[in-house]
Amino acid sequence: MTCRLLHHSPGCCRPADSNSKGPHSSIPPSPEVKTKAESTAPPTTSSAPRTHYDIFPETLPQGPPPHGHFPVDVRALRREFLRLQAQAHPDLHPAKDKVRAQSMSALINTAFKTLSNPLLRAQYLLGLRGINPGEDEQARVDDPALLMTVMEAHEQIQEAKMEADLKSLNEENEERIKVSENILEKAFKEDAIQAAVEESVRLRYWVNIRDSIHNWEPGKPGTVQH
């Protein structure tokens, strides 16, 4: 049996362009250690961050893997995000700086959205290594057990009569996401790119199930992307 992902899923990936790094290239080095004053100030366009990790020096001081960790403390990340957004708000800047502040605010938003989501985080890290997860129209996973698990989850969501019916499924799925994050932590630490790509494919299914559970409403058909 074969699972197929939509075009935006990672897997069977190729380098993004001819100048991209090979699949075994290391991620850019972590940023230099900053002073407390520098780390608490919002980034500016004059000192553009090299990666999304550079935007959150308090929560992610070690930068991206392999120096930093793949799992992220999302609560701490959100606290730093809110503080940075408050400081970068265009209304707090003079007219001549508003456009720059708007650009910085958009960059902070994008970085937070990417790093707070384990799937987007994995895809982003693969992109830093020269792999474009969305380049292929489809990715395949020859794993009958995975397909069966996804189909059973789909049926449970479809048949749920109340939110409580999905409690156990949600707990099981959150555990799967944690397992995937741990596998990705090891893969990125060891620069095992193929393993990272394959686990990102599996993580895509778990995140889709999570989204379907969170978006469930009585009488509304539940769907899980295959």
Provide the residue ranges of all domains of the chain, joining segments of one domain with +: 52-116, 144-215
Q: Read off the tokens for 76.
A: 């701490």
Q: From start to end of the chain, where are the E strands?
A: 3-5, 139-141
Pairing state between β 139-141 and 3-5: antiparallel
Q: Which residue from 192, 180, 139, 191 is spatially nearest to 9, judged by alpha carbons?
A: 139
Give yes or no for a contact between 196 and 126, defined as CB atoms under 8 angstroms apart.
yes
* CA distance linking residue 103 with residue 92, whole number of Å: 14
Assigned CATH topology for domain 52-116? Helix Hairpins (1.10.287)
DSSP 8-state class, residue 15: B
Identify the bridge partners of residue 139 per DSSP, sorted by sequence position. 5
Q: Provide, for the chain, the percentages of residues in helix, strand and coil under a 3-state DSSP scheme, each rounded to the nearest 5.
A: 55, 5, 40
73-114: pLDDT as tens digits? 999 999 999 999 998 877 677 777 777 878 899 999 999 999
CATH 3.30.70.100, applies to 144-215: no
Q: Of all helices (H) and strands (E), which one includes residue 182?
A: helix 167-189
**Whether the model pTM is above 0.75:** no
137-188: pLDDT as tens digits? 345 567 889 989 999 999 999 999 999 999 999 999 999 999 999 999 999 9
